[in-house]
Amino acid sequence: MDLKVFGDDPTIQGLAVWILHLVAATFVTIIIGFKKTTRVKLLLLWFIYDLLIHVILEGSFLYMSLLGSVATSTSHPLQPVWLEYSRADARWAHSDPTIISLEILTVIICSFLCFMIVILLLRDSPHRHFVQIILCVMELYGNWMTFCPEWVTGSINLDTSKPLYLWLYLIFMNSIWLFIPFLLLLESCVEIALSFEQNVFLVS
């Protein structure tokens, strides 16, 4: 796919890719979750979107980085998206080992966990909360390990001089995978705690 169909502005191209993932996730959610409640549909939408981002978008970064780097992978259709993001965080252009290590876990394990949760949601299985806790902890930890090494070394790879880089690329795009996993982690912990309380009440 040629991203130039969305124009020459790399920011617009990147946002278009995000929106396409969301549209695809919405389409799949409508197909497989049409009999589910609104709450379950929203959960399906998030985890399918999460899965697509991990597999397609982050998977493309991992592919380029393991074969070379984003900066040198000029033929990959998603290279402009990552090259633009690397203007805010240079590590994503030059195969930073910490980022690659995190993305290996994200693309392989988090994607699989997202898929498992979608299946468990469709089956109305309470076991999804155990898988959901693992996934949310991994995503929160991934966020921490993405930025903590930068903070302790003086953020030498981050460019916060432009509002676009700071507020859209670094804060907004990353905070999505901070707040939503935190809320889902809280939900699962509450559900499991309530389940234990009910079992204790029944036994007593």
Distance (Å, whole) CA 2 – CA 190: 45
Work out the pLDDT band at 196, boundaries 50, 70, 90: confident
* Tens digits of residue pLDDT in 1-27: 556 655 668 888 889 999 999 999 999
**Does pLDDT of 151 surpass 70?**
yes
Q: Which two tokens stand for residue 196?
A: 């234990």
- 8 DSSP 8-state letter: S
State the Cα–Cα distance between residues 83 and 92, nearest whole angstrom.
8
Cβ burial, residue 81 (10 Å; 0-12/13-18/19+): buried
Mean pLDDT of the chain: 93
The pLDDT value recorded for residue 5 is 58
What is the per-residue pLDDT for 76? 93
1-5, 99-103, 124-128, 194-198: the lowest-pLDDT one: 1-5
Q: What is the pLDDT of residue 1?
A: 57
For the whole model, what pTM was predicted?
A: 0.92
Question: Residue type at 20?
Answer: L
DSSP 54: I
Compute the average pLDDT of residues 135-152.
96
CA distances from 46 to 13, 70, 184 (A): 22, 27, 10
